Amino acid sequence: MFKNVIVKSPGKSYLNGLTTSDLGTPNYELLLEQHAAYIEALKTCGVEITHLSESEEYPDSTFVEDAAVLTPEFAMITNPGAKSRNGEKEEIEAVLKNFYTNFHYITAPGTLDGGDVLQVDKHFYVGISERTDRKGAEQFKTIVESEGYKATIVELQEFFHLKTGIAYLGNNTVVAAGEFLDHPDFVDYEKVEIPATDEYSANCIKVNDYVIIPKGFEETKRKFAERGIETIELEMSEFQKHDGGLSCLSLRF
Beta-bridge partners for 103: 75
Gap between the Cα atoms of 237 and 243, Å rounded = 10
Q: Which of 35, 104, 161, 242 is catalytic?
A: 161
Residues contacting residue 196 through CB under 8 Å, at least 6 positions apart? 177, 178
Q: How far is the CB of 226 from ligand CIR (least distance, A)?
A: 27
- Pick the closer one to ligand CIR by CB: 22 or 226: 22
Closest CA to 243 of 6, 17, 9, 5: 17
Contact between residue 144 and residue 151 where contact means Cβ atoms under 8 Å apart: yes
- Pick the closer one to ligand CIR by CB: 108 or 187: 108
Q: What are the Cα distances from residue 6, in Å, to 16, 125, 184, 209?
A: 23, 22, 33, 18
248 annotated active-site: yes
Closest CA to 215 of 186, 185, 238, 235: 235
Q: How far is the CB of 228 from ligand CIR (least distance, A)?
A: 28
Q: How far is the CB of 114 from ligand CIR (least distance, A)?
A: 6
Q: How far is the CB of 189 from ligand CIR (least distance, A)?
A: 21
> Which chain residues interact with ligand CIR by CB under 6 A?
17-19, 60, 63, 65-66, 82, 85, 115, 161, 164, 242-245, 248
- Pick the closer one to ligand CIR by CB: 18 or 181: 18
Q: Which of 45, 204, 242, 248 is catalytic?
A: 248
Active site residues: 161, 248
